[in-house]
A and B are shown apart, each in its own frame.
Chain A
Amino acid sequence: MADRAEFDAFVAARSSGLLRTAYLLTRDWGNAEDLVQTALAKSWFAWRRIDGPPEAYVHKVMVTTFASWWQRRWRGEAPTAELPDSGQPDRTVDVDERDELWRAVGRLSRQQRAVIVLRYYEDLSEVEIAAALGVSAGTVKSQASRALAALRKHGELTISGGDR
Chain B
Amino acid sequence: VTALDDDLRAMFQDRTASPPTNPFRGEHVRRRIWRGRLARTGAALAVVTVIAGTAALVTVPDHTRTIPAGPTTKAYFDRSGTVATAPGQTMVGQTLLADSGQLVVEQATDDRPYLLVTRCPKPGRIDVVGSDLRTGGHPDPALGSYSLECSAPVDGGEYEGSVTVPAPRSRTLFGPVGQLVLTVHGTGLWSFAVLAPTWPDWLPAVPETAAPVFDGRQHPAGGTFPARLGRDGALTVQGQCVPGVVLSFRVGGTAAGTVRCTTATPNYGVGYAPIGQPGATVQVTVTRTGRDTGQWLVTQADTPG
Residues of A that sit less than 8 Å from B by CB: 1-5, 8, 11-12, 15-16, 19-20, 23-24, 29, 33, 36-38, 40-42, 44-45, 87-88, 90-92, 97-98, 101-102, 105, 116-117, 120-121, 148, 151-152, 157, 159-164
Which residue of chain A lies nearest to B21 when distances are taken between CB atoms in the complex? A16
Which residue of chain A lies nearest to B36 when distances are taken between CB atoms in the complex? A41
> 14 new A-B pairs (CB below 8 Å) besides A1-B81, A37-B28?
A16-B19, A33-B25, A36-B25, A40-B32, A87-B15, A98-B7, A98-B14, A101-B11, A105-B8, A120-B5, A121-B9, A121-B16, A159-B4, A160-B3
* A116 and B12 alpha carbons, distance in the complex (Å): 10
* A97 and B11 alpha carbons, distance in the complex (Å): 10
Lowest 5 A-B CB distances belong to which pairs?
A41-B32, A20-B16, A1-B96, A121-B12, A120-B8
Quick check: B1 and A164 within 8 Å, CB to CB?
yes
Q: Is B73 an interface residue (CB 8 A)?
A: no
- Given the known interface contacts A4-B93, A4-B95, A90-B14, the answer about A162 and B26 at a Cβ–Cβ threshold of 8 Å is no
Distance of B33 from chain A, by nearest CB (Å): 5
B12 interface neighbour in A19, A117, A160, Cβ under 8 Å: A117
Chain B residues contacting A40 (CB-CB under 8 Å) are 29, 32
Q: Is B43 an interface residue (CB 8 A)?
A: no
A-B contact count (CB 8 A): 115
A97 interface neighbour in B7, B15, B19, B20, Cβ under 8 Å: B7
Quick check: B20 and A29 within 8 Å, CB to CB?
yes
* A161 and B6 alpha carbons, distance in the complex (Å): 11
Chain A residues contacting B5 (CB-CB under 8 Å) are 120
* A12 and B30 alpha carbons, distance in the complex (Å): 12
* A162 and B5 alpha carbons, distance in the complex (Å): 10
Q: Is B141 an interface residue (CB 8 A)?
A: no
- Given the known interface contacts A2-B95, A92-B14, the answer about A19 and B102 at a Cβ–Cβ threshold of 8 Å is no
Chain B residues contacting A36 (CB-CB under 8 Å) are 25
Quick check: A161 and B95 within 8 Å, CB to CB?
no
Quick check: B17 and A91 within 8 Å, CB to CB?
yes
- Give 6 A-B contacts (CB < 8 Å), ordered by A residue: A2-B103, A5-B95, A5-B104, A37-B29, A91-B17, A151-B8
Quick check: B15 and A162 within 8 Å, CB to CB?
no
* A102 and B4 alpha carbons, distance in the complex (Å): 12
- Given the known interface contacts A5-B102, A8-B104, A101-B11, the answer about A37 and B32 at a Cβ–Cβ threshold of 8 Å is yes
Chain B residues contacting A157 (CB-CB under 8 Å) are 4, 7
Q: Is B135 an interface residue (CB 8 A)?
A: no
Q: Is B72 an interface residue (CB 8 A)?
A: no
Quick check: A44 and B20 within 8 Å, CB to CB?
no
Quick check: A98 and B95 within 8 Å, CB to CB?
no
Quick check: A2 and B14 within 8 Å, CB to CB?
no
* A33 and B3 alpha carbons, distance in the complex (Å): 31
* A105 and B191 alpha carbons, distance in the complex (Å): 51
B3 interface neighbour in A12, A23, A161, Cβ under 8 Å: A161
Chain B residues contacting A19 (CB-CB under 8 Å) are 19, 22
Chain B residues contacting A162 (CB-CB under 8 Å) are 2
Quick check: A163 and B2 within 8 Å, CB to CB?
yes
Chain A residues contacting B17 (CB-CB under 8 Å) are 88, 91
Distance of A33 from chain B, by nearest CB (Å): 6
Quick check: A11 and B2 within 8 Å, CB to CB?
no
Q: Is B101 an interface residue (CB 8 A)?
A: yes
Quick check: B36 and A24 within 8 Å, CB to CB?
no
Quick check: A45 and B36 within 8 Å, CB to CB?
yes
Distance of A83 from chain B, by nearest CB (Å): 14
A4 interface neighbour in B10, B32, B97, B103, Cβ under 8 Å: B103
Which residue of chain B lies nearest to A102 when distances are taken between CB atoms in the complex? B11
Chain A residues contacting B191 (CB-CB under 8 Å) are 1
- A-facing residues in B70-97 (Cβ within 8 Å): 81, 93-97
A5 interface neighbour in B8, B25, B101, Cβ under 8 Å: B101
Chain B residues contacting A102 (CB-CB under 8 Å) are 11, 15
Quick check: A33 and B11 within 8 Å, CB to CB?
no
Quick check: B32 and A23 within 8 Å, CB to CB?
no
